[in-house]
Structures are given as structure tokens and as C-alpha cells.
Amino acid sequence: MHSGRITPSLLGHLKHQVRRQPLVISEAKRCRHDLIKQSSTGKVIQSSGPPGRHSNTGLVATVFGATGFLGRYLVSKLAKQGTQVIVPYRDEDSKRHLRVMGDLGQIVPLEFDLENEGFINECVRHSHVVYNLLGREHETKNYTYDRLLVDGASKISRIAKENGVGRLIHVSHLNASLDSPSKLYKAKAAGESAVKEIFPDATIVRPSIMFGQEDRFLNKMVTKPFTFQVNKLETLVRPVSVLDVAEAMQLMSTAESTIGKTFELAGPRTYSHEELFEVLEVLTHKSLTPSIISLPLPVFKFLMKIVDKAVWWPTLSEDEIVRRCIDDKLELSEGCYGFDYFGIEPDAVENLAITYLRYYRTASLFDAPIERGGLKVKPRNYHVVQ
């Protein structure tokens, strides 16, 4: 029967076993790049934790418009770097898919109302960076373009300034101009001016029309090609991948050199609508060329105006028809920067769109390679680990 005493020999054996155990818990080594000091506010931000979605950059970012097309990709990239993301939302169901993009407690949904400054103040008061992605392709009975893109942007900028937010990143459009025939592009340009007047250090982002998994551009060209039958399919566009735009905007959160700058983010290729239809026909193996007669612009606008008034859901608005007749800017504006500033090489439509346009193919051609249609794609780079 054992007495329960620890003999000297047993104690020596235990010490030997303890010495042989590997070091399980160790302090993470901190480096200079783990500390960020915002020059505008003097706040020091320190990252911690392991890399990946369990990391913590110390940054808190508010993304207005996070439930939209660009917003969901931006939230994912910010959360992947370990940034805590405040997600303002209006509809309870619109933000559920964002919660799984980060670690527990990393995605913080907050209900907000653009007309209630108290809600906006609550969304930005702890943030180091505020993104304003708010925008709509059509006007509603509650929000006109000016009310959303000018008054709303001004309100967010002012409240962010009052709360001592260090960075404001405002999304506009590549074709934003006060002289544009489009009401949306006019409002975008006016919104830029209003934001710069209130928050001079704001970073302005002007993406061209974006394509991606849930876009309303290429998907509409495949499902409703007749709605693009304007301007004889001669309108020039420079589609850009939403992934590339989100990556650039994520880098802006910590890049102090982007403060006060304007970035025009467009795709690497310029297509006419006719050329884009040809690319989509190769990707989907479907005949997409609109068969109806091209209607004069005034007639098309009049017909769509009647349809828009007849139904309650959003259709092809009059202003959207006007925008489909406006060419994208082909060169960078003076004093603006592009993807080169971040070392990003944007992808063309033919290199990425197949990932979601494949679903429009028939079963017999579902797995057919793109090259079968004669379309040249960028060669893939493979990284082999020995």
C-alpha cells in the first residue's frame, strides 16, 4: 500500500519529465509593423494574435453600405486581416450573411437610419476608419440621388469628423461629373465635393462598373440582353472585378499615404457593349445578341418610364438608360491614381467571369473549356512547393 509520499527518486523522475515537455505556450514576437500610428489623430493601433481570421489588427472600421455588392467583399477582406468591422444595417435579414465572415465578435451589426444622427454617431464613435459605400442604381420614394449621395454623405462625413475618426474613404464613380447627363453621376460628383469640404483628408475611390458573383451588369447582359439595345451597342466600358476594388480599399485602411488622394479604379481592357456580348457568348455558349430593333433613345426612355410607374419593383430606370449611353473614362484624370499605386494587376472579364457565368450553360457544355470558343485568357501561374 502506497503512503502517498513523493520519494526523492520519484521527484527526480517528475522533474526529468517536465524538462522534456515541449514549450506549448509562447509569447508572440511583436515587430515594428504591428504598431500603426494615425498621423491625423495620433492614435496608436497595435495588432495581436495569430495571423488569419483569428488575428486582431487593433483597427475598428465602419462600413456604411456593407450589405451591398461591394460591401460584402470589403467586409470579408477586412475581417480576414483581423479588423473589427461595424456593419450598419436597416433590414434584419440583410446582414446575416456577413456575421460568418469574421471571428466571434469581430463583425458587429448595428441598426441605423440615415435620417437619425444618433444612430450614425453610435456606428462611428469607436472607429478608426469609416467607409461610405452608400448608393443605389435607382431613386426611391424615400431617397433621391441627392438626398442619399449628397446629403447622406455630408452627414456621415460631419459626424465622423466630430467623433475624431482618422480616416474616411468615400466611394464615388469613375464617370462622376457635374456636367454629366446622368442624374446619378451628377449626384456622385456633388457628393465628392461635399465630403471634401467637410473632411479634407478623405480618400475618394472612383471605380468603374464592377462585375462579380452577384453583379447587376454581366448577369443582366446574359438574362436580359434586350435592355442593352441602346446606342447601337457602341458604348465603351471598362469593367473591373469587385475583388480587385475591395482589395485596394482594404489596403487603404492602413496606408497613410492614401490620405487625401483620389483613386480611379478601372479594368485593364476597354470593351464596347457589342464586344462584351461576344465575350459572354463564348463564356456561356449562348446566343446573346439582342434580336429586337434598336429603339431611339427618347422612345426607349419613354417606354421604360411607363413600365417603372406601372410596377412597384425596380426595373430599368430612365437614368440607367442614359448611363448605358455614356462612355467610361479611358485615361486617368489629372492628380488621380490607379491600381498601380497598390501593385495590383486587375483581372479582365474573360479571366474571372466564367466562375459564375458557367451556370448559364447547358448541361452538355457545362465543363467545356473557355479556349474552345477561341477566347484568349491570361495564363495561370502555379506555385509548386518542393
Q: What is the pLDDT of residues 199-210, one digit of tens each?
A: 999 999 999 999
Q: Which pTM does this prediction carry?
A: 0.85
Q: What percent of the chain has pLDDT over 90?
A: 58
Which position has the higher pLDDT, 24 or 374?
Answer: 374
Identify the pLDDT of residue 365: 87
pLDDT at position 21 is 45
What per-residue confidence (pLDDT) applies to 302?
84
Give 343-377 pLDDT, tens digit per residue.
999 999 998 999 999 999 988 888 888 765 567 66
CATH fold for the domain made of 32-373: Rossmann fold (3.40.50)
Residue 291: its pLDDT value, please?
Answer: 58
- Inform me whether the pLDDT recorded for 312 exceeds 60: yes
Kind and range of the H or E element at 86?
strand 84-89
Question: Region 256-284: what's the mean pLDDT?
Answer: 94
| Best CA proximity match to 105, nearest among 54, 153, 156, 65 | 54
Of 13-27, 129-143, 293-307, which range is least confident? Answer: 13-27
Strands 35-37 and 44-46: antiparallel
Q: What H or E segment, with its residue span, contains residue 36?
A: strand 35-37
Pairing of strands 262-265, 336-337: parallel
Give SS3 for 73.
helix
Q: What is the DSSP letter of 351?
A: H
The answer on pLDDT for 67 being more than 60 is yes
pLDDT of 24 reads 42
C-alpha cell, 43 = 492614435
CA distances from 356 to 9, 69, 281, 282 (A): 69, 15, 14, 14
DSSP at 62:
E
